[in-house]
Amino acid sequence: MNVPLMPLLLLLPGMVVAGPAATVPVPSAPAMKIAPATVAGGPRVSEAWIAEAPPAARHNAAYLVLRNGSRADTLVAVETPVAEVAEIHEMRQEKGLTRMRREATMELAPDAELRLQPGGRHIMLINMKRALKPGERVPLTLRFRKAGLIVIDAEVRPLAVDVEAADPHAHHHGH
Ligand SMILES: [Cu+2]
């Protein structure tokens, strides 16, 4: 029943058809520069996690820490196999309300440290493809303008069951 699209597409670049309309753009292979969560001189990604969500939840969020190296870079995209779309989001106060806003990119100044955490910036996971189990590790692929792709596993943390664990600042001091 499935139309065999792939053989057809593979044939297209070789087909000789008159007219400029026959030009089929062949996507150039992206530079698959997949590295562990470290690139020399570039940003490092660590402490990535996602909170367990109710099974019916369509969206979720991922958090992580970005520590940049000595050169400025820009986070331009995030992908994960468990969500249809991943977006960079920022929280803004508007007229007394906290709103999420999509940011197309995230700038990383030299040696900057950015903490994406609950109540602040996050990676919004839109239209989850499946529920996540506590303890499982979910790959996040971050695309930086200069450093290329960095893949990190985000740990799925169980839903907080008490106030101490629910407080994202519980382990930070001096706030
Ligand atoms: Cu969001």
Q: What is the DSSP string of 131-174?
A: PPPTT-EEEEEEEETTTEEEEEEEEEEPPP-SHHHH-TTTT---
Rounded distance, CA 158 to CA 53, Å?
Answer: 8
List the single range of 5-14, 34-43, 84-93, 163-172 with lowest mean pLDDT.
Answer: 5-14
Q: How high does pLDDT run on average in the chain?
A: 79
Residue 13 has pLDDT above 50, yes or no: no
Both tokens of residue 98?
């906290």
The Å distance, Cα 77 to ligand 1 centre, comes to 14
CA of 133 to the centre of ligand 1 (A): 21
CA of 12 to the centre of ligand 1 (A): 41
Residue appearing with tokens 């995209």: 77
In the 8-state DSSP scheme, what is residue 38? B
Q: What integer pLDDT is reported at residue 32 of this predicted model?
A: 46
Average the pLDDT over 5-22 and give the result: 37
CA of 110 to the centre of ligand 1 (A): 26
Average pLDDT (120-143) is 96
Least confident of 7-11, 86-90, 157-161, 162-166: 7-11
Q: Tell me, in angstroms, the distance from the centre of ligand 1 to residue 156's CA.
A: 17
Mean pLDDT value of segment 15-34: 43
* 29-159, CATH topology level: Immunoglobulin-like (2.60.40)
Expressed in angstroms and rounded, the spacing between residue 90 Cα and the centre of ligand 1 is 7
> Regarding predicted confidence, which is higher, 4 or 115?
115
If you average pLDDT over residues 47-74, what whole number do you get?
A: 95
